[in-house]
Amino acid sequence: MGNLDVKERILDAAETLFACQGFHATSMRNLTVSAGVSLAMVNYYFGSKEALFDEVFESRLPALIKVCRRNLNVARDDAHRERRQLNVDEILYAIIEPILCYLESRSGSMGFPTLLGRAMISPMTVSEKRHVKPFFFLLSESLREAQPNLAEETLLWRVRFAFGAIGSAMCGLEEEQSAFGRDDFSCDAYVRLRMLMTFVVAGMEANVCCWSQAK
Amino acid sequence: MGNLDVKERILDAAETLFACQGFHATSMRNLTVSAGVSLAMVNYYFGSKEALFDEVFESRLPALIKVCRRNLNVARDDAHRERRQLNVDEILYAIIEPILCYLESRSGSMGFPTLLGRAMISPMTVSEKRHVKPFFFLLSESLREAQPNLAEETLLWRVRFAFGAIGSAMCGLEEEQSAFGRDDFSCDAYVRLRMLMTFVVAGMEANVCCWSQAK
DNA sequence: GTCTATAGATTGATAGAC
DNA sequence: GTCTATCAATCTATAGAC
């Protein structure tokens, strides 16, 4: 207790509040009260509010990226054994499944999934984007192998759209329900995963000529 | 000059700054200096910062929704003449084309598209979601006609994913480029429209069974 | 209608006791 | 390590002169 306990409590509270309200709408007082620690502790352990924000990502992301990379390698080995290329859906599953499910199972809290989702779709700060950069590269580089004939511009746009869809599946669930007045949204992670995979795989594999001349 | 001029200048500045920095990160001073008016003018014309935020939407959205509705009606009449149902891609085009292109052509500024895109994907406030609600209903109700066999839950999730993709196509363009270190993203509205339509139509029409048992 | 000046509350950060 | 008390800056909103 003491040292690590307080640090961890601050990180948990920051994760939740930054996820629900965003960086600027969350005050230090708001945050420290929620964590049950005094105001000075944030600066003592993290230096500043911004440094705390970064630390939330840096304390949770590496493990997640590692899982994605491992999944990709396993899938790639399987494909290699069968003497074929990696499929688009295998790539997407290897990366999306951990993002939606590994995170959820870790603490039971939806804090970090929501925060990561927000970072993926928020146009906000470069600081926020910095943390999701690895996912962007992982996805685009893996998909380039599987879709070598797709124009680079098209590939990058599609990864971008996929990010938007993934982020939408991860954050603002309750808010959205109440805002749109629907409670038809299931929050079960595996339902979401199935829905999301179906949508994104189809979008990513779409025939380019399909909509070349709109209207 | 005078009255309307100042009001409009404030609205323009608010549109741009709320779009680029978000609501909480934009201060009244920041905003009034950018508009070239004094600090008191915002409260004189709009009452409060929040009321100004709402007014930005209320002064720009109705015309846009009207165009979407009219496009839908035209497409529906065409389909009716040919004695067939409206297609998914016709519905999506009727709504997405104005969002991406009508907005862009209005003022040349990317302010409002960016702001709307942010509102579509931001999990933030219910206040923000309130303004995009009409689009959500317009899309989900129109698509229900075209895809009567799709489960309600699936339909709503897909509209949600579509929102994420649309929002991604509209906001944070420059930031994304610099953040990801790529300048392959074209910012031409019609290139974006074509890319987006291809992706979203495919996702919306995806075969449900495709990914029923993930892995 | 438009301004300056300022009130009143809240912010992030820190000094200093323990 | 942890706290309270407080600083200096910034915020939104408003009062009052012109």
From A30's Cα to the closest Cα of chain B, the distance in A is 15
Quick one: which of A200, A171, A198 has its CA closest to A187? A171
In a domain, residue B42? The reply is no
A115: exposed, middle or buried (C-beta count within 10 Å: 0-12, 13-18, 19+)? buried
Confidence bin at A182 (pLDDT 50/70/90): low
- C-alpha torsion B58→B64→B67→B72, nearest 10: -100
Q: Please report, as a single letter, which amino acid is at residue A129.
A: K
* Nucleotide with smallest C1' distance to residue B26 CA: D11
Confidence bin at B177 (pLDDT 50/70/90): low
Given a cut of 80, whether residue A214 has pLDDT beyond it is: no
In a domain, residue A86? The reply is yes
**3-class DSSP assignment, residue A123:** coil
Task: Pull the structure tokens for residue A138.
Answer: 């992982």
Q: Which residue is nearest to nucleotide C11 (CA to C1')?
A: A27
In a domain, residue A3? The reply is no
**3-class DSSP assignment, residue A215:** coil
Asked if the Cβ–Cβ distance from A123 to B124 is below 8 Å, we say no
Sign of torsion over alpha carbons B73, B79, B80, B85: negative
Confidence bin at A78 (pLDDT 50/70/90): very high
* Nucleotide with smallest C1' distance to residue B49 CA: D12
Whether CB of A127 is under 7 Å from strand C: the answer is no
pLDDT number for residue A211: 72
Q: Which tens digits make up the pLDDT trace of A137-148?
A: 999 999 999 999
Given a cut of 80, whether residue B174 has pLDDT beyond it is: no
Q: Across residues A14-41, what is the average pLDDT?
A: 96
Q: Which tens digits make up the pLDDT trace of B106-141?
A: 665 668 988 998 888 876 666 778 899 999 999 999
Residue A136 is part of a domain; what is its CATH number?
Answer: 1.10.357.10
Q: Do B154 and B210 meet the contact criterion of CB atoms below 8 Å apart?
A: no
Nearest beta carbon to residue A171 from set B123, B175, B198: B123
Task: Pull the structure tokens for residue A74.
Answer: 């396993």
The residue to which tokens 């005050």 are assigned: A27
Q: What is the mean pLDDT of chain B?
A: 89
Among the ranges given (A165-174, B141-150, B159-168), the one the predictor scored with the smallest mean pLDDT: A165-174
**CA separation for the pair A88, A99 (Å, rounded):** 17
pLDDT number for residue A114: 85
In a domain, residue B49? The reply is no
Confidence bin at B145 (pLDDT 50/70/90): very high
From A156's Cα to the closest Cα of chain B, the distance in A is 7
From A147's Cα to the closest Cα of chain B, the distance in A is 15
Given a cut of 90, whether residue A6 has pLDDT beyond it is: yes
pLDDT number for residue A13: 96
The residue to which tokens 């992301």 are assigned: A61
In a domain, residue B149? The reply is yes
Quick one: which of B199, B206, B190 has its CA closest to B92? B199
Q: Which domain holds residue B104?
A: 60-211
pLDDT number for residue B120: 87
In a domain, residue B87? The reply is yes
The answer to whether B161 contacts chain A (CB < 8 Å) is: yes
CA angle A74, A78, A84 (to 5 degrees): 130
In a domain, residue A200? The reply is yes
With a CB-CB cutoff of 8 Å, which residues 176-195 of chain B face chain A? Answer: 176, 178-180, 182, 184-186, 190-195
For chain A, how many structural domains are there in total? 1
Higher-confidence position of A124 and A162 = A162
pLDDT number for residue A127: 75
With a CB-CB cutoff of 8 Å, which residues 26-85 of chain A face chain B? Answer: none
Q: Which tens digits make up the pLDDT trace of A52-68?
A: 999 999 999 999 999 99
Q: Which residues of B touch A113 (CB under 8 A)?
A: none
Task: Pull the structure tokens for residue A176.
Answer: 């959205």
pLDDT number for residue B149: 95
Q: Which tens digits make up the pLDDT trace of B1-19?
A: 556 699 999 999 999 999 9
Asked if the Cβ–Cβ distance from B168 to A166 is below 8 Å, we say no
